[in-house]
Amino acid sequence: MGNKQSIFTAQQLDAYQDCTYFTRKEILRLFYRYRDLAPQLVPLDYTRPDVKLPYELIGSMPELKDNPFRQRIAEVFSEDGQGNMTLDDFLDMFSVLSEMAPRDLKAYYAFKIYADFNNDDFICKSDLEKTLNKLTRNELTEDEVRMVCEKVIDEADLDNDGRLSLEDFQHMIVRAPEFLSTFHIRI
Amino acid sequence: QDLRSRPLPMSQRRALWQEQQKKVPVVSKGESWRRKNAKLLREGKEALKEILYFFSPWRKALQLIGGESWTRSAGQSSFLPFRHALIAGFVLVPSIVFRGSEGTGFPNLTGNTRAQDPVLLECMNYNPNPQGLVPFYTYILDVLLGTGFVELSYLFYGFYENTVVEDRNFYNIPLAYLLTAAFYFAFCLICIVVRSVWLGYAARVAVATGGQTGGEYSMIAFAGWDYGSLGDKETKLKQKNILYRLQVDLEEERLKNQAAALTLKQKVFLYSLRVLLLFLALGLIAAALFGIFQATQFSQKMSGREGIVGLLIQYLPSIVITAGNFVVPLLCDQIALLERYSPSVTIILALMRAVVLRLVGLGVLLFTLWTQVTCGGNPEEDDCRLCQYNYKLYQCWETRVGQEMYKLTVFDLLIAVATLVLVEFPRSRMVVDHSSNALVQKLGRQEFVIPSNVLVLVYGQTVVWTGALFCPLLPLINTVKFIILFYCKKITLFHNCRPALRTFRSTTSTFFFLVVLLFGWGLATTVMVYSVTAIHPSMSCGPFRFFDNMWLIVPATLYSLSDTSRDFLFFIGSQAFSIPLFILLCVVLCYFIALASVYGKTVRLLRTQLKLEGRDKQFLVKQIDALSKHLQIPTHRE
């Protein structure tokens, strides 16, 4: 394997290996996936690191296409917050969503995905309602949504301020053993 | 190097990485050597991972299927190759090797005089080979029934010799046979316990931090969505699933509130109705068990018939068991509709009834066999007086018991494949796709219900364990059966079934199945221990021909060991050793229980403290607000 590729310099590849949970091969494979989304925009060697792919292309990937949270995911991991991703953001996203990322890291990003529908660093009731509607395709009645939101906040809110902070969220995730396997995209 | 676990944007991480690299130049030789090693190790691990991934064909298929309980039970079969190596190595191979050689019959305790006794010669009459010309289909029947040429093969107990080879290598086949069976059971037990402990670890976290009931809704909301699901249909299905789970939870809540609000008269009525229906369900199960009893007796009495009728009669117990396991749960489901328990309790009750039916059904079959082999445990009855077992019906009773278990396994496989071919494929392909009948559409495709499928697996495993002593290659046959069933179910899953909407919580359900497996293991062990110690082995076949019971070979071997090892073994078995060991284990158990309860209390205490801290913080913030307004000091809070 080693040094037969000409996309990245050795140092860049090392940097990526140390900054993500991917191996050399996987980083190269991800680069090709990134490039396949828009071959005319992304050069074959890593000379223009600031190329940004628009959200529409990212959201059309088969792994993300049917995920109801894809827009939030792209917004959280993109630098500009709009969902337009550079290669760095792309690798970051799949690294956090890979098998090997630790639970705390995943919990941090999961919190941001669920929380900032209204950009306030907390999961408040309206954020929860939006999440629930995405989870059930808007098929719960309003009453049911309200009841479930109340129950969730009841269960998880430890400092009793009516909304969930990052600590509440992380404490609750510790008790969910299936979180690690569900917050995982295989690519 | 924990840069990657820090939640920073990638560009910042890389900047930090650059800085780290710059700081690196002056590094001791040892440090750089260690770092190079760590890198090599990492690359080695990557290569190894890729190779291993290539070799795990089942892993991909299992991941595709996705259901947790199914993969756990199927994952049990990953231990199978090891078990087979055990059996093959210790019993099968030596038997084959030493069969021809001039082994001496084991110096029997009661002396060779017994073999000379003319009366007892009648007990040793055993010839399962059919005499004269046989019709061609007999061979097929033999494979299905385990008779004829199959009976006189390594498959069954009766074929093994009781030789003890002494010339070149000392190898005691009867002892090997017994010990292999014992180790097999012990190994299975260890596998079950290890797996349940490992599972318990996942459940332990939930238990220590406030119990399973604290956090169902938040769990569904935040950890319920599987990000890895691909495809539009699957996404819709998952969304329906989550919808269903939330609705079920809300419904349970509503039912709980309703139940608490019942008047006394309504409560009495409901409880009496439930008791009545419970008796009805028990009656159904008892009727099924009685049916199994009669079928087994009938089948054993009529075991001489030939041809297709004979085949049917031989398979009668299996047919009745399978029919009972199909019909009774259906009826109990209807009963459950009347009982009006909450959904989770209903599911648990249904599973318990199915489990009881299966295991007790198997127990009844074994009991019937026992009454016939030992004439109801009465060695003075006519048929049994001569050889202490019913030699008229059973020249080689162990083989016969092994055959029953073999038939159960084979029948299970046949029924599964037949259901697949005859029921599920037509149901989905022809009926649902091409018919516009409303009723047919409502029946729809077969739902793949994970719990009942896992129960079938557990039952099959129990049958194999029971038969392992009498039919040593049965685990191997079971493996083949599992493989066939696995691929069949995979086909049916993807083409014919729609996934079940009702899910069963995965950690509790897997634990439940492990407990059931443990019960099955207990049943099989009881059977094995009883047959080893209490029933007289057949005199005409098998490695234990001239013993009064199979266990006697162990003391006999022990006496021939050297003095020190004999004393040591006697010491371990004696009370002076086992009672202190038992007391020590109890003390260790109490320690762990106490530790667990202390941790639970600590966690609860810390949680209340956390809540109080939050309230304090809010109070202080309000005070600051009030004071600042009062003093009209501009605050620095956002």
Closest-CA distance, B34 to chain A, in angstroms, reads: 16
Query: Can you give the pLDDT at residue B594?
Result: 92
Query: Can you give the pLDDT at residue B113?
Result: 40
Residue B16 lies in a domain: no
Per-residue pLDDT tens digits for B98-137:
554 444 444 333 333 444 455 556 666 666 665 666 666 6
**Domain match, B512 and B617 both:** no
**Domain match, B99 and B244 both:** no
**Domain match, B444 and B548 both:** yes
Q: Are A131 and B617 a contacting pair at CB < 8 A?
A: no
When pLDDT is cut at 50, 70 and 90, the band that residue B591 belongs to is very high
Task: Judge whether A15 is closer than 8 Å to chain B, CB to CB.
Answer: yes
Q: Which of B1, B225, B611 sits opposite A18 (nearest CB)?
A: B1
Distance from C-alpha of B635 to C-alpha of B140, rounded to nearest angstrom: 93
Query: Can you give the pLDDT at residue B455?
Result: 81
Residue B132 lies in a domain: yes
Is the backbone of residue B537 left (phi > 0), alpha (psi -120 to 50) or beta?
beta
Residue B48 lies in a domain: no
Distance from C-alpha of B100 to C-alpha of B474, rounded to nearest angstrom: 24
**Domain match, B521 and B612 both:** no
Query: What is the token pair recorded at B83?
Result: 């078990």
In chain A, residues with a C-beta closer than 8 Å to the C-beta of B225 are 68-69, 135, 182
Query: Can you give the pLDDT at residue B315?
Result: 83
Kindly tell me if the per-residue pLDDT of B589 is higher than 90.
yes
Residue B236 lies in a domain: yes
Distance from C-alpha of B145 to C-alpha of A176, rounded to nearest angstrom: 50
Closest-CA distance, A100 to chain B, in angstroms, reads: 10
Task: Judge whether B108 is closer than 8 Å to chain A, CB to CB.
Answer: no
Task: Judge whether A156 is closer than 8 Å to chain B, CB to CB.
Answer: yes
For residue A45, give Cα distances in angstroms to A32, A51, A187, B178, B516.
11, 12, 22, 68, 59
Per-residue pLDDT tens digits for B300-349:
777 766 767 777 888 888 888 888 888 888 888 888 877 777 767 777 78
Question: Which residue type sits at A177?
Answer: P
Scanning the structure block, which residue is given the tokens 């996987």?
A26
**Domain match, B327 and B472 both:** yes
**Domain match, B423 and B499 both:** yes
- Chain B residue closest in CA terms to A73: B227
Q: Are B250 and A92 a contacting pair at CB < 8 A?
A: no
Task: Judge whether A30 is closer than 8 Å to chain B, CB to CB.
Answer: no
Residue B58 lies in a domain: no
Which percentage of chain B shows pLDDT scores above 70? 66
Q: Are B246 and A158 a contacting pair at CB < 8 A?
A: no
Distance from C-alpha of B2 to C-alpha of B16, rounded to nearest angstrom: 11
Q: Are A179 and B222 a contacting pair at CB < 8 A?
A: yes
Residue B463 lies in a domain: yes
Per-residue pLDDT tens digits for B58-67:
444 444 444 3
Q: Residue-wise over A14-25: b if at least 16 C-beta within 10 A, else e?
A: ebbbbbbbbbbe
pTM of the model: 0.67
**Domain match, B495 and B608 both:** no
> How many CA atoms does the CB half-sphere of B466 hold within 13 Å?
31
Which positions 593-612 of B are in contact with A (Cβ < 8 Å)?
A: 607, 610-611
Distance from C-alpha of B54 to C-alpha of B509, rounded to nearest angstrom: 31
Task: Judge whether A58 is closer than 8 Å to chain B, CB to CB.
Answer: no
Kindly tell me if the per-residue pLDDT of B498 is higher than 90.
no
Query: Can you give the pLDDT at residue B99?
Result: 53
Task: Judge whether B243 is closer than 8 Å to chain A, CB to CB.
Answer: yes
Kindly tell me if the per-residue pLDDT of B78 is higher than 50.
no
Residues of chain A with pLDDT under 50: 1-2
**Domain match, B391 and B528 both:** yes
Report which of A30, A155, A133 is spatially closest to residue B611, judged by C-alpha positions: A155
Average pLDDT value for residue range B296-300: 83
**Domain match, B498 and B617 both:** no
Question: Which burial class, exposed, middle or buried, applies to B197 when counting CB atoms under 10 A from its CB (0-12, 13-18, 19+)?
Answer: exposed
Pairing type for strands B163-165 and B498-499 reads unpaired
Query: Can you give the pLDDT at residue B212?
Result: 43
Q: Are B217 and A79 a contacting pair at CB < 8 A?
A: no
Closest-CA distance, A114 to chain B, in angstroms, reads: 8
Residue B285 lies in a domain: yes
Query: Can you give the pLDDT at residue B585?
Result: 93
Per-residue pLDDT tens digits for B6-25:
888 888 888 888 888 887 66
Size of interface A-B (CB pairs under 8 A): 164
Task: Judge whether A108 is closer than 8 Å to chain B, CB to CB.
Answer: yes
Determine which of A3, A18, A145 to mutate to test the interface with B (most B C-beta atoms within 10 Å): A18
Closest-CA distance, B320 to chain A, in angstroms, reads: 41
**Domain match, B246 and B384 both:** no
Please state which of the ranges B216-230, B394-408, B559-573 shows the lowest mean pLDDT: B559-573
Q: Are B202 and A156 a contacting pair at CB < 8 A?
A: no
Closest-CA distance, A38 to chain B, in angstroms, reads: 21
Angle (nearest 5°) at CA B470 between B379 and B467: 105
More confident residue, B285 or B429: B285
- Chain B residue closest in CA terms to A140: B243
- Chain B residue closest in CA terms to A131: B221
Query: Can you give the pLDDT at residue B211?
Result: 46
CA Rg value for chain B: 32
Task: Judge whether A60 is closer than 8 Å to chain B, CB to CB.
Answer: no
Per-residue pLDDT tens digits for B359-382:
888 888 888 888 888 777 666 767
Task: Judge whether A10 is closer than 8 Å to chain B, CB to CB.
Answer: no
- Chain B residue closest in CA terms to A177: B202
Task: Judge whether B618 is closer than 8 Å to chain A, CB to CB.
Answer: yes
> How many CA atoms does the CB half-sphere of B363 hold within 13 Å?
15
Per-residue pLDDT tens digits for B143-202:
777 676 667 676 677 666 665 555 445 566 777 778 778 888 888 888 888 877 776 665
User: For chain B, what is the domain count?
Assistant: 3
Note down the domain range covering B525: 72-161+173-212+262-560
Q: For B261, phi and psi rounded to 5 degrees?
A: -100, 10
Task: Judge whether B380 is closer than 8 Å to chain A, CB to CB.
Answer: no
Distance from C-alpha of A54 to C-alpha of A80, rounded to nearest angstrom: 11
Closest-CA distance, B3 to chain A, in angstroms, reads: 6
More confident residue, B635 or B457: B457
Task: Judge whether A124 is closer than 8 Å to chain B, CB to CB.
Answer: no
Query: Can you give the pLDDT at residue B635?
Result: 53
Query: Can you give the pLDDT at residue B584?
Result: 93
Residue B204 lies in a domain: yes
Task: Judge whether A7 is closer than 8 Å to chain B, CB to CB.
Answer: no
Task: Judge whether B265 is closer than 8 Å to chain A, CB to CB.
Answer: no
The residue out of B525, B560, B595 marking a domain boundary is: B560
Which positions 143-202 of B are in contact with A (Cβ < 8 Å)?
A: 202
- Chain B residue closest in CA terms to A139: B243
Scanning the structure block, which residue is given the tokens 């003095």?
B563
User: Secondary structure of chain A in the HEC alphabet?
Assistant: CHHHCCCCCHHHHHHHHHHCCCCHHHHHHHHHHHHHHCCCCCCCCCCCCCCCECHHHHCCCCCCCCCCCHHHHHHHHCCCCCCCECHHHHHHHHHHCCCCCCHHHHHHHHHHHHHCCCCCCCECHHHHHHHHHHHHCCCCCHHHHHHHHHHHHHHHCCCCCCCECHHHHHHHHHCCCCHHHHCCCCC
Kindly tell me if the per-residue pLDDT of B286 is higher than 50.
yes
Is the backbone of residue B538 left (phi > 0), alpha (psi -120 to 50) or beta?
beta
**Domain match, B332 and B355 both:** yes
Query: Can you give the pLDDT at residue B148?
Result: 66
Q: Are B4 and A152 a contacting pair at CB < 8 A?
A: no
Q: Are B221 and A23 a contacting pair at CB < 8 A?
A: no
Distance from C-alpha of B466 to C-alpha of B457, rounded to nearest angstrom: 14
More confident residue, B476 or B414: B414
Task: Judge whether A95 is closer than 8 Å to chain B, CB to CB.
Answer: yes
Q: For B374, phi and psi rounded to 5 degrees?
A: -105, 20
> How many CA atoms does the CB half-sphere of B204 hold within 13 Å?
12
**Interhelix angle for B397-418 vs B343-373, to 10°?**
140
Q: What is the ipTM of this complex?
A: 0.85
In chain A, residues with a C-beta closer than 8 Å to the C-beta of B217 are 148, 151-152, 155
Which positions 475-514 of B are in contact with A (Cβ < 8 Å)?
A: 506-507
- The domains located in chain A, with CATH, are 10-97 (1.10.238.10), 103-182 (1.10.238.10)
Average pLDDT value for residue range B401-410: 87
Scanning the structure block, which residue is given the tokens 């009982």?
B339
**Domain match, B467 and B605 both:** no
Q: Are B205 and A177 a contacting pair at CB < 8 A?
A: yes
Q: Are A185 and B614 a contacting pair at CB < 8 A?
A: no
Q: Which of A19, A69, A174 sits opposite B13 (nearest CB)?
A: A19
Query: What is the token pair recorded at A167?
Result: 């600590």
Query: Can you give the pLDDT at residue B107?
Result: 39
Q: Are B224 and A23 a contacting pair at CB < 8 A?
A: no
Strands (E), B457-577: 498-499
Mean pLDDT of chain B, nearest integer: 74
- Chain A residue closest in CA terms to B1: A18
